[in-house]
Chains A and B, each alone.
Chain A
Amino acid sequence: DAKTTQPTSMDCAEGRAANLPCNHSTISGNEYVYWYRQIHSQGPQYIIHGLKNNETNEMASLIITEDRKSSTLILPHATLRDTAVYYCIVRPNSGGYQKVTFGTGTKLQVIP
């Protein structure tokens, strides 16, 4: 599995966009970028994933660079409930068994 690198922590003002970066320079051609978040004392929850095109859903947007070596998760209007640890991982979308290692993620603090 490709390794990912994320900043340890970030702050964001409430109502502003939160941009969380992730480096995955060794990503393989068949690996997708997934983002999860973990709110305190709960299990991680899926947010969004993508291969090479930018993706948007009701929670967030995902911007993947053209060389696919990095990506950015964007929370367009951060709220206090978005305070959480955000994990970026890469994995194949299907086929074979999937061992994935989560790192330490980015702790996002949304400030009132």
Chain B
Amino acid sequence: DVKVTQSSRYLVKRTGEKVFLECVQDMDHENMFWYRQDPGLGLRLIYFSYDVKMKEKGDIPEGYSVSREKKERFSLILESASTNQTSMYLCASSSLLTGGYGYTFGSGTRLTVV
């Protein structure tokens, strides 16, 4: 069964820590995305990548960076975590050539910054 895997389901970090959220997909998809989800605000796009080493800012990139060194892996980095980055983070991937079934999402990482 094809899937998108996020390394942690729950994560608790301290303010000021550098945080890495990892996402791996096994579908050979070109596009990968990071969203955050907060109550009442829906899914908001942080960054996306359409190729290895390529990245584009989404709607709310401030305070985040990303890394895509391999096609299957897309990392979200919080350089200095803050309490307002407490949220649910969702990774997704999609195919460039066959939009088909659209996005495949991971199960999410619930990050709490204390």
- Give the contacting residue for A102; candidates B40, B42, B99; CB below 8 A: B42
Q: Which residues of B contact A95 (CB under 8 A)?
A: 96
Q: Which residues of B contact A81 (CB under 8 A)?
A: none
- CB contacts under 8 Å to B, within A40-92, are 41-46, 49, 87, 89, 91-92
Take A36-B102, A44-B105 as given contacts and tell me if A97 and B96 are in contact as well, using a CB distance cutoff of 8 Å: yes
Q: Is B61 an interface residue (CB 8 A)?
A: no
Take A42-B107, A43-B90, A87-B43 as given contacts and tell me if A101 and B59 are in contact as well, using a CB distance cutoff of 8 Å: yes
Cβ contact within 8 Å between B40 and A104: yes
User: How many chain-A residues does the 8 Å CB contact rule pick out?
Assistant: 27
B interface secondary structure, majority? loop
User: Chain B interface: which size bin?
Assistant: 20 to 34
Please measure, in the bound complex, the distance between the C-alpha atom of A41 and the C-alpha atom of B58, giving whole angstroms. Answer: 23
- CB contacts under 8 Å to A, within B12-55, are 30-31, 35, 40-45, 48, 50
Nearest-CB distance from B95 to chain A (Å)? 8
Please measure, in the bound complex, the distance between the C-alpha atom of A95 and the C-alpha atom of B50, giving whole angstroms. Answer: 11
Q: Which residues of B contact A43 (CB under 8 A)?
A: 4, 90, 92, 105-108
Contact with A along B77-114 (1 / 0, CB 8 A): 00000000000001010111111111111111000000
Q: Which residues of A contact B99 (CB under 8 A)?
A: 32, 91-94, 98
Q: Which residues of A contact B94 (CB under 8 A)?
A: 98
Take A43-B106, A46-B103, A100-B103 as given contacts and tell me if A94 and B98 are in contact as well, using a CB distance cutoff of 8 Å: yes
**Residue on A with the closest CB to B50?**
A97
What are 8 A-B contacts defined by CB distance under 8 Å? Answer: A44-B90, A49-B102, A92-B99, A94-B97, A97-B31, A97-B48, A99-B58, A102-B35
List of 6 A-B pairs having minimum Cβ-Cβ separation, nearest first: A43-B105, A97-B50, A104-B42, A93-B99, A102-B43, A94-B99
